[in-house]
Structure 1
Amino acid sequence: MQEKAPRRSNRERTDATRDALTRAARSLFIAHGYAQTSTPQVCAAAGITRGALYHHFSDKRDLFRHVLELESRAVAEHIVSETSGPVPAAEALLAGADAYLDAMSVPGRTQLLLVDGPAVLGVADVMAMDESHAAGTLREGLAAAMPRETDVSVDALARLLSAAFDRAALDMDAGAEPDEVRGAMRWLLKRALAG
């Protein structure tokens, strides 16, 4: 006699459906881009009905925003995991720089966060998303590591360095030598910390 599989709760079914839609959408957005990905394609890839998709997400743009939110959060979590521990603030900041570039090297992530995201959601929305995740970790690291006597705005410097990090990730995604890009970013950070 076969044992019956335990019944899943509504919450487990909801989570499984959202996860299937998210994974399918991420894969299709990377493979075909946002504009060339349709909700029927996402539903077919996820094995989910269109009604279920619209139960969880208001439209394709809402699903895309969810995918980007998860990607952005994953970047920040990787930075935090690589920079926690009792090390001087400047060393943690340099480790965070490497962690950001590592996190952005996940296939498709640079395209989603730095190319398609601003084009679909707008620069302001993507910057706000970044601000609540990876950009916040950069600002915190700079505030802890910068000399106290400096008159440079930590917020302004964080925004400028964030743009440099994004460009570095785009360069690496386009095939630039990773060690050269990492070296240049570490040099830039060291100069910023020198005051």
Structure 2
Amino acid sequence: MEVKEQVKDLRLAQGEETRTALLAAARELFGANGYPATSLDEIAARAGVTKGAFYHHFRGKTDVFQAVYEQVQREISDQVVTVFMDPDHWYSLTQGCQLMIDAQLDPAVRRIALHDARSVLGWDTVRGIEMRYGAVGIRGALRKAMRGGVIEPQPLRPLALLLAGAIAEACFYVADAEDPAAARQEVGDLIVRLLEGLRTHPAD
């Protein structure tokens, strides 16, 4: 029994390694070339596995793209949560929102999250993933700021959804702008102004 369990554990570990390699390969190719220009053959070859091994872990190209997109959003969320945990409620809220924009403007992330995701996965799927990873962190930061007396009490869930939506659209605006640096400055200032409108004691 012990040998069988060891063999089972080894197979599980190998399977997880294969999936991780496929995700890394797909992310690299999607980020560099975009979804339409990336083939399953390229993903499998980059990962060093067969197409059969690919289909053991993913149903197809759309499936692996969704897994990559979720991985990207989860990583952004992890970065932002660190800022949201800062004891300075106003700093954590404003800087966390700014980081949510900046994190999606990396060229590879931008191609995956802003250029391809909606057309490949559809609006409902993208919105669900964005809300799961983005709005949850924002909701926590808003709750903390309300409890700390930094912003006026508001209905929490709709406020978090509205703010997450504004940040998502800000990312698209910057990504599509002819002058991304100027556009980034514009949306950054506007996000702070929006939050200032909620603040209990706005800065002079």
1:124 matched residue in structure 2: 124
Using the size of structure 2 for normalisation, the TM-score is 0.79
1:193 matched residue in structure 2: 199
Alignment deviations for residues 3-33 of structure 1 (CA, whole Å, 9 cap, x no partner)? xxxxx93344223221221122112223332
2:31 matched residue in structure 1: 30
Q: Is the 8 A contact 1:145 1:193 kept in 2?
A: no
Q: Give percent identity, aligned residues only.
A: 32
Gaps of 5+ in 1: 1-7
Partners of 2:51 and 2:104 lie apart in 1 by 31
The structure whose residues are more often helix, as a share, is: 2
Please identify, of 121-130 and 141-150, the stretch whose mean Cα deviation from structure 2 is larger.
141-150
Please identify, of 114-123 and 145-154, the stretch whose mean Cα deviation from structure 2 is larger.
145-154
Q: Is the 8 A contact 1:139 1:155 kept in 2?
A: yes
Matched letter for residue 80 of structure 1: V
Task: Indicate the SS of the match to 1:48.
Answer: coil
Task: Indicate the SS of the match to 1:193.
Answer: coil
Matched letter for residue 157 of structure 2: D
Gaps of 5+ in 2: 1-8
Matched letter for residue 183 of structure 1: D
Distance verdict in 2 for CA 1:29–1:149, change over 3 Å: closer
Shift in Å, 1:45: 2.0
1:171 matched residue in structure 2: 173
Please identify, of 121-130 and 111-120, the stretch whose mean Cα deviation from structure 2 is larger.
111-120
Matched letter for residue 25 of structure 1: A
Partners of 1:106 and 1:14 lie apart in 2 by 30
Shift in Å, 1:131: 1.9
Partners of 2:87 and 2:190 lie apart in 1 by 26
